[in-house]
Amino acid sequence: MITGRFFAAGADRRIAITIFILLAAAIIVPLLNLAVSPASAFYVPSYIVALTGKYLCYALLALALDLVWGYCGILSLGHGAFFALGGYAMGMYLMRQIGSRGVYGNPLLPDFMVFLNYKELPWFWYGFDHFWFAAIMVLAVPGLLAFVFGWFAFRSRVTGVYLSIITQAMTYALLLAFFRNDMGFGGNNGLTDFKDILGFNVQADATRSALFAASAVTLALAVFVTWAIVGSKYGKLLMAVRDAESRTRFLGWRAENVKLFAFTVSAVMAGIAGALYVPQVGIINPGEFEPSNSIEVVVWAAVGGRGTIVGPIIGALLVNAGKSWFTGVLPEFWLFALGGLFVAVTLFLPKGIVGMWDAWRGNARALRAASIAEEAGTDPDVPAPPKIVRSAARTPGEWSTSGPEPQPAE
Amino acid sequence: MAKTAKRPGEFLLQSARTQNSNSSGIAERMILLRALGLMLLFLLANLLPANAAEADLRAIIAKFAAAANFSATETVVRELAATGDPLVERPLAALAEGDLYVRKADSLVFVGREGGDSVELLDPLSGEKSGEAAKGDITKIKVNNTLRRVIRDALGTLTLRAKDPAVRIAAAATMFKTPDAANIEPLDAAIAAETDANVKALFEQARAASVLVSDRPEADKLAAISLIGARGDRDALSLLTSVEANSQGAVKDAATAASGNINSTLAFWDAGQNIWYGISLGSVLLLAAIGLAITFGVMGVINMAHGEMVMLGAYTTFVVQEVIRNSFPGLFDWSLVIALPLAFLVAALVGLAIERGVIRFLYGRPLETLLATWGVSLILQQAVRTIFGPTNQEVGNPSWMSGSFDVGQLAITWNRLWILVFSLCVFALLLYVMKRTPWGLQMRAVTANRRMAASMGIKTPWVDALTFALGSGIAGIAGVALSQIDNVSPNLGRGYIIDSFMVVVFGGVGNLWGTLVGAFSLGIVNKFLEPYAGAVLGKIVVLVLIILFIQKRPRGLFALKGRAVEA
Amino acid sequence: MRGNFSTITKMVSAGMVAAGLLMSVQARAADDTIKVGILHSLSGTMAISETTLKDVMLMLIEQQNAKGGLLGKKLEAVVVDPASNWPLFAEKARELISKDKVAAVFGGWTSVSRKSVLPVFSELNSILFYPVQYEGEESERNVFYTGAAPNQQAIPAVDYLMSEDGGSVKRWVLEGTDYVYPRTTNKILEAYLKAKGVAAEDIMVNYTPFGFSDWQTEVSAIKKFGSAGKKTAVVSTVNGDANVPFYKELGNQGIKAEDIPVMAFSVGEEELAGLDTAPLVGHLAAWNYFESVDTPENKKFIADWQKFIKNDKRTTNDPMEAHYIGFNMWVKAVEKAGTTDPDKVIDAMIGVSVPNLTGGYSTMMPNHHITKPVLIGEIQADGQFETVSQTPGLVMGDEWSDYLPDSKDLISDWRAPLSCGNFNVATGKCGGKGTN
């Protein structure tokens, strides 16, 4: 595709800068936190480290979603589930590390099992006392779920809104399941009161800084991986499926396999994000499965600009920073601000902040090709349609995001 | 007669009270009053002999003033009941309702009727007005459940001969639940005097229940068991189980057999009950989803603010009821009827504003509508929270939506039945509008092919706006119905949004019949699973079934046919 | 200031830019105040209960300032919104302590919100006042529990139902929302009932999810369970939102309090405000406070509250009283210690005694729980409770239940030299039960 060249030329430098900034942050922020005296103007308080560490995990989650939504056209309203599963795997490891330091001093059973009269550890908790096992599970559980779910869904050609709604059903079912105390995951209270990770105290400043650095490096890595996937021949296939699934299939490609790969990779990324998130916030609870959380992830990606790699990261950081600020400054009214933001972004920044920025920068035509709302095979020389186009309300069930131009019903 | 009896009666009460009272500071006056009271009593006894029994009653009622705890009150209640005088019904019923008061100044006992800051005082026996009192000047005689039960039982025996058959039926029901050997005689008398066949049968069952706890011969008891076994409901089962536990020999065997029979009949009814519960849940789902079937199903807008439209409808109901409560209390039973058009209007106007302000810029970009309407839903929720406060608001059931009636062994609650009827009416109406009116035709034309519709002279923007308003308005009237069974709080909408999407998608987007079938089948499946799997697991199973079903039919139960659906 | 409601309203009207300016100006000017953090959800699912508590705290702080403040300084409320989001609770707690440097935090409602902030409070060594009845099985140095422990609510409630006054109940339905408070409370109650000779088949336990709204099946199961010829009662730990549809269904299916009374631990005046209570008269609740309690302190509190909130229909409830007690205790302890230094205040708190609203005094015990009377009330047609039974004296909060096998040997005593939240009297060691 012609547009691919423009995309590569325009976006490469941006990716490099992003990775550089993330890696630099991974080094500088811990330094400013640990080595600088609290009185200094350059001191970064631990509170900020923990907070930004959390945002980076969200950014990773948004990036994971962007890989399937922005590049493959699968709107998953259940990515929070993969995030939470990764978090639970990490949480289970952290629970086992508490050992006999729980309030009941039971060396084997976590506190919640003691007072709910568990006599022995449920089988699925075995192995989580080893970090390597937990780490494998962080990757395997979300990956496997996504694989199985995707294998069925994509093979049955469940697309568009149907797919979105069943991913929502999936996370909702998991929410209800994890709320059940009989499941052995601590019910509504979830897993909390962590002490150590890999032998280091999770509350120590150094550990927090290390976790922050790990999050930043992982995010940088994820940016690189996503960029590599998107830039490869496979990435072109992804976008082809996104833009014209039937046409791709008629050309002989197995669209379901393409989607399945992206979906699984994305779920694993989300799982890693969850695993990094849990030790930093100190709790994992079924609330993370809330369908509204997954919708919020979609919003982050949209605010930043989907179909770009940097966009979701910026979106996640901005929205969450805004949320932190508003909930402190305007506790009674912040929902108005947040709701207003979503409406405003969809109306005035349909391509997100990054898309808007690109349009401003003048080389809009080239970069717009990379953004999602372009029809496959559009000649880049054709002037772009205006940002807000009134077009046909299409037939129900139609989901493919093939541009603002009205489409005849073939 | 009552009028003349009032004054002397009060004196009498007062003298009785002073006997119980231990305040000695006014002893002199007490003696005087007592003397006066006795004198009057004497006088009255001579003049109006019919009042002697009433005077006795008043003396007993006066003891309420001195009853310091529940068991003391209970003693007085039993004493009153023992008189067997139908006149005691009024004070006892008032006591059970918590409407019996003692005036602090003179320790007289009254039935009180609350009205604003003051309480209207009524004579406990005659029900005549005898003045008013500020709330601080009177003390309520406290009741608890045990006491209420004692009163109910006592009233049961007393009201066997009441004129109103409904009262007699209630009396029979209470006596059936609280069998007592002493009930047999009054019941025998009542049976002999009873003319209504239905009531008579109930009396006979109540008598049979009492026979079982008496020391009557075994043959009587066996006959009683067969009579009760034929009744076949839970109360009968309850009674038979306790007989089973407390007896031996033939009686025990007969009770076991009878309760076994009842159990198997009830198992059959249980299945019926599950179906009814399922239908009822289905009707709630249908109501919640049907507006979405328009905005999402027909128009393709992923309307995350749909739940908030339902909430607005519920809050409209609340406001209507508030106005009625404060200004026109007599209209309360009409509140829902009044609320319906208003809720439709409010939600439709908000919907119209959303469509004109936001959604019309987003046609053809369904994903963007998801984000924007999500934002709108946050704003609406917080707006309601700011205006009405975050707490639940009270929406009452009008009398015709309260309580239940029995069909066989199936208790059907009126509010669920009305909601079912209502949901079907809404569905039928909507179907009519879509299929049989010019507006519906235009709606379908615009959604099928906008440009062609526009070429034919249809004002597509207006059709869009009105369609969205219609969907929102329908959600609003669903809110009126849901306010009857659920919380009216800012979170109301959130509880239904996911279920609504499931119903629409399961049924097939764009198909109203699909929504109907989807809602009822999900409701029934859910309710059949619930008793076995529990509420949580049941719901999880339903969700998993939906996911699997979508694999089998990727476009829902009733998929739209044709090439138009392919992207 | 930024926590103050009226100022916030003004700030919003002045626009967000102005708000930002205002904030930065006042942040600098705030050195001569003592800050008090308020950590209650103002949005999301828990806003329905928690917003009221935020308002109560603002009122209490305003009243204290009218009395001249504390240690010669004005008190200043810092309100944040953790939005019913548990990780956000931890984040906001951290923000309050490290950024705003509050002297104490009043907040939390759900168990998980408390569990989420616990590590933050112990790490940063600050003070949390937690005002809601909870499942017990916890005693932290940095937390003061002003709500009821299970023995201050559940056990007296069941005792009442077993008594003659309560109807000599023989058969029990334990109906709860599926989360830790009902689970633990029901475990304790099951053990307690069995110890009192109730057979296992006379106890039915059932759990429903949060926000459950279709109670038809559950209510008819209760009806069925109750028709076994024995007096039956329901002990309900159903939470928040789910209660309204639950009670509506009870009323409509005709379950009368005289036949099957429902004893609730999470239904207070606020929940009843959303209900027509006429069909529910006689159903019960167990709390440590009712709005209907007739004492001068309570009358004043209600009048102040309705004036503050500018609504003469707003009700008061038990967690509000808990904040009232907790706040007054904190004020007294700070005055006693002469400083807001957490360590000194934590030590000074133990033994502090303040009037509660039911006509007595509540005292902070060494286990960081308080003494309270237990009241059993019946729902009235006007949406209030009427006390039908009251424990003769005050009941001391028991953090480690005696009816759970793993916690019966544990005690908590935060006084020196023991200073331990989970001291095992059997082994004589601090640190729980150890190996089974």
3-class DSSP string for C345-409: HHHHHCCCEEECCCCCEEEECCCCEEEECCEEEEECCCCCEEEEEECCCCEECCCCCCCCCCCCC
Q: Do B225 and B299 reside in the same domain of the chain?
A: no
* Three-state DSSP state, A252: coil
pLDDT at res. B36: 59
- The predicted model gives B142-161 an average pLDDT of 82
**Is the pLDDT at A409 greater than 60, yes or no?**
no
CA distance B308 to chain A (A): 13
pLDDT surpassing 90 at residue C76? yes
Residues C300, C362 share a domain: yes
CA A374 to chain centre: 23
C-contacting chains (≥3 CB pairs under 8 Å): A, B
Q: What is the CATH number of the domain that holds C271?
A: 3.40.50.2300
Contact criterion met (CB < 8 Å) for B297 and A392: no
Residues 6+ apart with CB under 8 A from C229: B238, B239, B241, B242, B245
How many independent structural domains does chain A possess?
1
Is residue B34 within 8 Å of B20, Cβ to Cβ?
no
In contact, A87 and A275? CB cutoff 8 Å: yes
Residue of B nearest to C257 (CA): B145
B552 is a domain residue: no
CA–CA gap between residue C366 and residue A216 (Å, rounded): 45
pLDDT at position B154 is 82
- Per-residue pLDDT tens for A91-113? 999 999 988 888 888 888 888 88
Domain membership flag for residue B343:
yes
Report pLDDT for B38: 58
Q: Chain C within 8 Å of B411 (Cβ-Cβ)? A: yes
Taking every pair of Cα atoms in chain B, the longest distance, rounded to a whole number of angstroms, is 103
Residue C313 has pLDDT above 70, yes or no: yes
A406: pLDDT strictly greater than 60:
no
One domain, residues B38 and B141: yes
Per-residue model confidence (pLDDT) at position B566: 41
Is C30 a residue whose pLDDT tops 70? Answer: no
Mark whether C280 and C301 lie in a shared domain.
no
Q: Where is mean pLDDT largest: A349-363, B30-44, C243-257?
A: C243-257
Are C295 and C359 in contact, with CB atoms under 8 Å apart? yes
- For residues C244 and C212, what is the distance between their CA atoms, to the nearest angstrom? 10
Highest mean pLDDT among A184-193, A358-367, B449-458, C190-199: C190-199
The 3-state DSSP class for residue C197 equals coil
Nearest to C178 among B487, B490, B536 (CB): B536
Q: Is A275 left (phi over 0), alpha (psi -120 to 50) or beta?
A: alpha
The CA radius of gyration of chain A, in Å to the nearest whole number, is 22
**Looking at the domain assignment, is residue A392 inside a domain?**
no
Model confidence at C126, in pLDDT bands (50, 70, 90)? Answer: very high
Mean pLDDT of C89-96: 92
| Residue range of the domain that includes A206 | 2-370
For residue A197, list chain C residues with Cβ-Cβ distance below 8 A: none
Could you tell me if residue B421 is inside a domain? yes
Residues C284 and C271 both lie in one domain = yes
Same domain? C323 vs C284: no
Residue C426 binned pLDDT confidence (cut-offs 50, 70, 90) = confident
What's the mean per-residue pLDDT of chain C?
Answer: 87
Of the two residues B441 and C433, the one the predictor is more confident about is: B441
Which of C167, C259, C271 is closest, CB to CB, to B392?
C271
Both C123 and C194 in one domain: the answer is no
Q: Tell whether the model's pLDDT for residue C375 goes beyond 90.
A: yes
Chain A residues within 8 A of B547 when measuring between CB atoms: 149, 166, 169-170, 173
Read off the pLDDT of each residue in B19-41 and give the average, rounded to a whole number. Answer: 52
Span B494-511, average pLDDT:
87
Q: Where are the beta strands (DSSP E) in B403-457?
A: 404-407, 410-413
pLDDT given at position A366 = 55
Phi, psi of A161 (to 5 degrees): -65, -30
Give me the percent of chain B exceeding a pLDDT of 70: 89
Q: How confident is the model at residue A11 (pLDDT cuts 50, 70, 90)?
A: low
- For chain A, the farthest-separated pair of C-alpha atoms sits apart, in whole angstroms, at 71
**Domain-located, residue B431:** yes
Judged against a pLDDT cut of 70, whether residue B409 lies above it is answered with: yes
Q: Calculate the alpha carbon distances from A194 to A286, B481, C276 in Å.
A: 17, 47, 45
A209 reaches C (C-beta below 8 A):
no
Q: Is residue B193 packed enough to be buried (19+ CB in 10 Å), middle (13-18) or exposed (0-12)? A: exposed
CA distances, A227 to each of A11, A211, A230, A245, A305 (Å): 9, 24, 5, 22, 15
Q: Is residue A405 part of a domain?
A: no
How far are the Cα atoms of B47, B93, B222, C39 from residue B206, in angstroms, in the given order?
Answer: 42, 22, 15, 59
**For residue A6, is pLDDT > 50?**
no
Question: Please, what is the angle between helix A352-360 and helix A291-304, to 10°?
Answer: 10
Predicted pLDDT at C193: 95
Q: Is the pLDDT of residue C28 over 50?
A: no
The residue ranking higher by pLDDT, A396 or A182, is A182
**Which of A324-328, A350-354, C330-334 ranks highest by mean pLDDT?**
C330-334
Q: Is the pLDDT of residue C6 over 50?
A: no
Tell me whether residue A379 is in a domain: no
For chain C, positions 138-167, list CB contacts with chain A under 8 A.
138
Chain A positions touching C43 (Cβ under 8 A) are: 334-335
- Which chain B residues are within 8 Å of C166, Cβ to Cβ? 144-146
Nearest to A299 among B298, B371, B563 (CB): B371
Does the beta-carbon distance from B402 to C274 stay under 8 Å? Answer: no
Give the tokens for residue B183: 């009930």
Of C164, C167, C216, the CB nearest to B280: C216
CA distance C70 to chain A (A): 25
| Chain A contact present for C410, CB below 8 A | yes
- H helical segments located in B293-413: 306-327, 335-357, 366-388
pLDDT band at B13, cuts 50/70/90? very low
User: Is the pLDDT at B556 greater than 70, yes or no?
Assistant: yes
Please indicate, yes or no, if residue B181 is contained in any of the structural domains: yes
Cβ of A189 and C112 within 8 Å?
Answer: yes
Lowest mean pLDDT among B498-507, B558-567, C190-199: B558-567
How much is the pLDDT for A364?
A: 53
Residue A367 pLDDT grade (very low, low, confident, very high; cuts 50, 70, 90): low
Q: What is the DSSP code (8-state) at residue B108?
A: -
Number of structural domains chain C divides into: 3
First to last CA, chain C: 53
Spatial CA neighbour of A79 closest among A171, A182, A203: A171
Question: What region, left, alpha or beta, does residue A74 occupy, with left being phi > 0 and alpha being psi -120 to 50 degrees?
Answer: beta
> Å from C259 to nearest chain A CA?
31
Cα separation of B322 and B242, whole Å?
Answer: 48
Q: Is residue B34 located within the same domain as residue B181?
A: no
Q: According to the model, what pLDDT value does residue C166 have? A: 86
In C, which residues are within 8 Å of B277 by CB distance?
A: 214, 216-217, 220
Check residue A365 and give its pLDDT.
Answer: 56
Q: Output the pLDDT for position B89.
A: 82
Q: What pLDDT score does B52 carry?
A: 57
Conformational region of residue B231, where left means phi above 0, alpha means psi within -120 to 50, and beta covers everything else: alpha
* Chain B residues with CB-CB distance to C221 below 8 A: 531
Q: What is the mean pLDDT of chain A?
A: 84
In terms of pLDDT, which residue wins out, B218 or C371? Answer: C371
The answer to whether residues B361 and B442 belong to one domain is yes
Residues B15 and B122 in one domain: yes
A269 has a pLDDT exceeding 90: yes
- At residue B42 the predicted structure's pLDDT band, cuts being 50, 70 and 90, is low
Please tell me whether residue C124 adopts helix, strand or coil conformation. Answer: helix
- Give me the mean pLDDT over the B324-340 stretch: 90
Give the best residue of A395, A401, A402 to mutate against chain B (max B CB count within 10 A): A395
Cβ-defined contact of B145 to C279 (cutoff 8 Å)? no
> Nearest CA to CA, how far is B25 from chain C (Å)?
27
Quick one: B436 and B456 in the same domain?
yes
CB contact under 8 A, A161 and B302: yes
Please answer yes or no on whether B392 and C253 come within 8 Å at the CB atom: no
Instruction: Identify whether the C-beta of residue A112 lies closer than 8 Å to the C-beta of residue A186.
Output: yes
Assess if residue A17 is contained within a domain: yes
List CB contacts (< 8 A) between A104 and chain C.
406-407, 410, 422, 432-433
Instruction: Evaluate if residue C362 carries a pLDDT over 90.
Output: yes
Kindly state the average pLDDT of the residues C285-301. 93
Is the pLDDT reported for residue B420 higher than 80?
yes
Regarding whether C383 and C241 lie in a shared domain, the answer is: yes
- Quick one: pLDDT at residue A368? 54
Q: What is the mean pLDDT of residues B82-110?
A: 83
B429 strand-pairing partners:
none
Residues of B in contact with A399 (CB under 8 A): 366-367, 567
* A window 347-406, beta carbon within 8 A of B: 347, 350, 373, 388-402, 404, 406
- pLDDT at position A7 over 70: no
Q: What is the DSSP string of B27-95?
A: HHHHHHHHHHHHHHHHHHHHH-TTHHHHHHHHHHHHGGGG--SHHHHHHHHHHHHHT--GGGHHHHHHH
Instruction: Say whether both C144 and C173 belong to one domain.
Output: no
User: What are the DSSP calls for B253-308, one per residue?
Assistant: HHHHHHHHHHHHHHHHHHHHHHHHHHHHHHHHHHHHHHHHIIIIIIT----TTHHH
Query: Mean pLDDT over residues B59-74, rounded?
Result: 84
Residues B351 and B450 in one domain: yes
Instruction: Report in angstroms the alpha-carbon separations of A316 from A16, A66, A107, A204.
Output: 19, 11, 39, 26
Confidence grade of residue B567 (pLDDT, cut at 50, 70, 90): very low
**B168 and B124, same domain (yes or no):** no
pLDDT at A52: 93
Could you give the number of structural domains in chain B? 3
Nearest CA in chain A to C82: A327
Please indicate if any CB of chain B lies within 8 Å of the CB of A137.
no
- C86, pLDDT greater than 80: yes
Q: What is the largest CA-CA distance in chain C?
A: 71
Residue A362's pLDDT is 63
Contacts of A390 in chain B (CB under 8 A): 360-361, 363
Cβ-Cβ contacts under 8 Å, A152 against chain B: 548, 551
Q: Do C191 and C313 have their domain in common?
A: no
A120-149: average pLDDT: 94
d(CA B201, CA B192): 12
Between chains, do A165 and B505 touch, taking CB under 8 Å as contact?
yes
By percentage, how much of chain B surpasses pLDDT 90?
25
Residue A394 belongs to a domain: no
What are residue A44's phi and psi, to 5 degrees?
-105, 115
* Residue B559 resides in a domain: no
B333 close to C (CB below 8 A):
no
Tell me the range of A82-86, A340-344, B432-436 where mean pLDDT is highest: A82-86
Q: Which of residues 296-335 of A touch C (CB under 8 A)?
A: 324, 327-335
- What pLDDT, on the 0 to 100 scale, is given for residue A91? 95
For residue C289, give the amino acid letter: Y
Digit-coded pLDDT (tens) for C201-213: 999 999 888 888 8
Shared domain for B347 and B491, answered yes or no, is yes
Pure H helices in A232-290: 233-243, 245-250, 255-281
Answer for the pair A309, A11: CB distance below 8 angstroms, yes or no: yes
Share of chain C above pLDDT 90, in %: 58
* Cβ contact, residue pair B446, A347, below 8 Å: no
> Six-digit token pair at B279?
């239908």
Q: What local confidence, expressed as pLDDT, does residue A83 receive?
A: 97
Instruction: State residue A384's pLDDT score.
Output: 46
Neighbours of A4 (CB within 10 A): 16
Binning pLDDT at 50, 70 and 90, where does residue C297 land? Answer: very high
Residue C199 has pLDDT above 90, yes or no: yes
Residue C73 gets which letter from DSSP? B
pLDDT greater at residue C6 or residue A86: A86
A173 in contact with C, Cβ within 8 Å = no
Scan residues 489-518 of B and list those with Cβ closer than 8 Å to C.
Answer: 489-491, 494-495
Question: How close B388 gets to chain A, by Cα (Å)?
Answer: 14
State which residues form the domain around B183: 161-247
The proportion of chain A whose per-residue pLDDT surpasses 70, expressed as a percent, equals 85
B146-155, B462-471, C169-178: the lowest-pLDDT one? B146-155
Q: B352 lies in a domain? A: yes
3-class secondary structure, A283: strand
| pLDDT value at residue A87 | 96
Q: What is the pLDDT of residue B479?
A: 94
DSSP code at position B142: P
Instruction: Tell me the residue range of the domain where C317 lies.
Output: 5-149+294-371
Q: Beta A200-201 vs A196-197: how paired, if at all?
A: antiparallel
